[in-house]
Structure formats: structure tokens, C-alpha cells
Amino acid sequence: MALNGMEIYKILPKKNCKECGFPTCLAFAMKLAQGGTQAEKCPYMSDEAKDKLAEATAPPMRTVTFGAGEKTYSLGGETVLFRHEKTFVNKPRFAVIFDDTESTDNVEKKINHINTVNYTRISEEMYVEIAAFRCSSQDKQKFISLIKKVTSECKKIVPMIITENPDIASAAAEEFAALGPIIYGANEQNYEAMVGIAKKHNLLLGVKAENQAKLYDLVQKIQNTDYKELLLDAGGRSLKTAFDNAVNIRRTALLSKDRTFGYPTAAFVCDMTQDKMMEIAMATLFIEKYASVIVLSDMDYSMALPLFAIRQNIYTDPQRPMRIEQGIYRIGQADEQSPLLVTVDFALTYFIVSGEVERSKVPSWILIPDAGGYSVLTAWASGKLNAKSIAKAIKDFEAESKLKTRELIIPGKVAVLKSDIEDELPGWKVIVGPREASSLTAFLKEYRQE
């Protein structure tokens, strides 16, 4: 539990020497409780007091990691219940479940889907991060063979080893330790052995109980072994129970500042429904509230597009607009005779415009000036999108060396900029495009014929 100012004051040296930059030890304690200073600023604190304070002033929800090298991922570390309060920091990761008793065809199909789903949206590469392996056969060799096959064919995934058998968990952890797997399956009966395995390889440990109360007791026992790299599962396998678990665990950690539940959680959506559309709907719920690992039955493009998009939308800082890098973008086989359009660096606007240009099948260039990350009208109204910024982008990104034409298509909503741009860019003709991106396809086809 976090300490308040008076509790911190009790363990301070009480010299009132001011060396920490505060007039009294009490003032220092109050500031420390608010997170406004660091314990190290007091040079007279004992090591024991420092440890106590480090624990007490740590964030209410622990940040844990799994994976290895470039494929190292963080989970948890959240400080707010709602994105608009500040921001969420560590996005949930998607896992595809593999059961060691399922058919080879199914395994191949999932491997193919994992390897196919890989695309970039707003500068973020989208792909499946985890393959979750469930050992239903209790056959160690069969289980390890399955993990070997999938991890060798899906290079980007990190394995999540699901078994409550410490012997199998130990063998699999030993075999795949270099990949930084999640070991999942610590329970009331086996937790000492499972903690030993996780400790030995420094792995994230999945802890499962039948309900929240039993999970709470189990986590306390595991914390007493001094292992805190945990992923929690309160056992819910219906939407109602699993959602209730996720929300209560997060609220207990952040509102009650109770670190027993200050860990990320997993949601096994794959066990909650057989219906694909329902699975997508449920997964979106757990992206928002509050699973950190979301285990799915599969991940083909029809699942990936909505799930990755909503994850990206939720796990961006609401105080910072989603921006695309400024530059000149080539759509299709655009050449020196292709049309040049200008739009803003607000990512959603860019993707709508570029999508419509692609749909038109008219190879084109899109110029992105510095527009503050705003939409067209907002950027214009705030003075970020103007004749000077567009002319600067034409020069900075060397449009004149890429194109022989000297025509620039501007959004219809900022038609008012036409003459100013022509003044800034002698020799250029500005053409006013449509007001809405949805009209771009017809506009470009007509433009090409002229």
C-alpha cells in the first residue's frame, strides 16, 4: 500500500537540515507522498527506509515485461482508469491460442494467418505478438514440438506456455528461455514450483485462481516469495465474469492503491464464444477495459483490422494528435506527370485521402506540409496550414525535381488559399479539389482525362 505524508515522515531522519531542498522533513515527506520529489534527495536516509519508500512511492500498477531483444514488450504500468484522464501507456498484446490436441490443419491455418497479418497503420507495424500454447495432452514432447514448429515458422511471436504441470512448464521454459516466454499456470497447488521456474529464467508468470478472492490470496503468497513479475487471471471464462474481474482488479489497484492487484491481467476471449464476430466484439471490450494480454482463437485480417485499429486509437496520447510524417508520398506508380495533391499531417485525414487516391487508381503524389497534426479546417483556422507552409513543403521535399507539371490540387475547404499559394510559388497553378475526400476518386479520374 502507498504511504501518506505522515507515514513517510515517521521514517525520515528528522534532522530538518534542508539539504533535500525543503525547509523541513515534514515538507519533504508531503511532497514525496505526492510524487513531487525523490527519496534520494535526502542523504541521511537509512537503506531500510529507502527500500520502504521505494516500494511505497512506486506506481500502483507494476510494469512487467516479456519477450527478448527487439521483441520485448511491456505490460501494465497504467496510472488512470480512463484514457481521457491522462493516457494509457502500455497497449494490450494479442495472442493466438494453439492447443496441442488440435488438428494439424488448424495449426497450419493459424500459422498462415499470423504470418499474413502484418501491416503498417499510422507508422505502427501491426502483427500478432504472442502465440499461446495450451498443453491439453499432458504429453511434454508433443507440447514442445508444437511450440517449436510455431515459433520457428512465426518469427515475430513470443510464446506463452500454458500448463499447470510444473514438470512440463520447466521443460518448456528451459527449451524456449531465449525467447522470453510467458509461463502461465501458477495456481494454489503449484505456485512454489512455478515461481521457481519463472525466477530461474526471469520470466513473466501467469497466475490463475477460481475467482477474485482466491486470486488475491494467491498473489499475496507469491509476493511473499519476493517474485513480482506477474500476469493475473481471476478465472472468468464468461464475458460477464471476466469483465467484472478485469474492472475490479484495475480499480482495486488504481483507486484503492492495493498493489496485490497492481499487475496486468489476461483475458481468454477464445474460451468465451465460438462466434467470430462476437469474439471480435468481446476483444474490443477488453482492449478498453482492461486486459493486457488478449487471447484469441485466431487472427485473420477480418479480425486484425478492427482490433489493431481500436487498440491504436485507444492507446495513443489524447493530448497529442496522431500525426503522419511530413513529406511527399508516392501513391501507385506516380511519375513526373502525375497529379500532386496537398493535405494535412493529421493521420486520419491522410489515410482517408490516400485511401481515396488509391481507390481512384490514378497514380498520384500527396504532399504533407507541417499542419500541426490538425484536420484541414482546424489547421487552416489556426494558421498552421497556409500558403507559406505549403510552399515550404514544395521546396523542402523537392516536388519540382519529382514532377514536370506545376499544378497543385488543394482541398476544397481551403479554396481561399489558392491565390496566396500562387503568389508564393511563381509558375505554379493551384487547382481547387473537392471539399470531401469521398469525391476525390471522381475528381482525379476527370482530372487525368483533361
Judged by the rule CB under 6 A, the positions of this chain that interact with ligand SF4 are 12-13, 15-20, 22, 25, 28, 42, 44
Spatial distance between the Cα atoms of 128 and 114, rounded to a whole number of angstroms: 6
Spatial distance between the Cα atoms of 445 and 102, rounded to a whole number of angstroms: 51
Beta carbon nearer to ligand SF4, 9 or 263: 9
What's the closest the beta carbon of residue 26 comes to ligand SF4, in angstroms?
8
Spatial distance between the Cα atoms of 74 and 78, rounded to a whole number of angstroms: 11
Beta carbon nearer to ligand SF4, 22 or 227: 22
What's the closest the beta carbon of residue 45 comes to ligand SF4, in angstroms?
6
Beta carbon nearer to ligand SF4, 17 or 278: 17
Beta carbon nearer to ligand SF4, 34 or 106: 34
Beta carbon nearer to ligand SF4, 12 or 322: 12
What's the closest the beta carbon of residue 318 comes to ligand SF4, in angstroms?
37
User: Phi first, then psi: what are they for 185, rounded to 5°?
Assistant: 145, 15
Cβ neighbour number for residue 336 with a 10 Å cutoff = 10
Sign of the torsion angle spanned by Cα atoms 350, 344, 90, 282: negative
Rounded (10°) angle between helices 212-224 and 239-254: 50
What's the closest the beta carbon of residue 1 comes to ligand SF4, in angstroms?
22
Spatial distance between the Cα atoms of 199 and 227, rounded to a whole number of angstroms: 7
Cβ neighbour number for residue 196 with a 10 Å cutoff = 14
What's the closest the beta carbon of residue 47 comes to ligand SF4, in angstroms?
14
For 56, 339, 364, 418, 424, the CA distances from 429, given in Å and listed in that order, are 65, 12, 17, 9, 11
Beta carbon nearer to ligand SF4, 18 or 237: 18
What's the closest the beta carbon of residue 44 comes to ligand SF4, in angstroms?
5
Beta carbon nearer to ligand SF4, 22 or 397: 22
What's the closest the beta carbon of residue 5 comes to ligand SF4, in angstroms?
12
Phi-psi region of 202 (alpha: psi -120 to 50; beta: other; left: phi over 0): left
Spatial distance between the Cα atoms of 368 and 150, rounded to a whole number of angstroms: 41
Q: Which long-range contacts (CB under 8 A, 24 or more apart) does 82-87 make?
A: 83/314, 83/318, 84/318, 87/316, 87/317, 87/318, 87/319
Q: Which long-range contacts (CB under 8 A, 24 or more apart) does 101-106 make?
A: 101/136, 101/137
Beta carbon nearer to ligand SF4, 25 or 135: 25
What's the closest the beta carbon of residue 32 comes to ligand SF4, in angstroms?
9
What's the closest the beta carbon of residue 152 comes to ligand SF4, in angstroms?
56
Beta carbon nearer to ligand SF4, 11 or 194: 11
Beta carbon nearer to ligand SF4, 44 or 301: 44
What's the closest the beta carbon of residue 48 comes to ligand SF4, in angstroms?
15
What's the closest the beta carbon of residue 59 comes to ligand SF4, in angstroms?
22
Beta carbon nearer to ligand SF4, 5 or 306: 5
User: Phi first, then psi: what are they for 230, rounded to 5°?
Assistant: -125, 150
User: Phi first, then psi: what are they for 344, rounded to 5°?
Assistant: -100, 175
Are 279 and 303 in contact by the 8 Å Cβ rule? The answer is yes
65: cell is 515485461
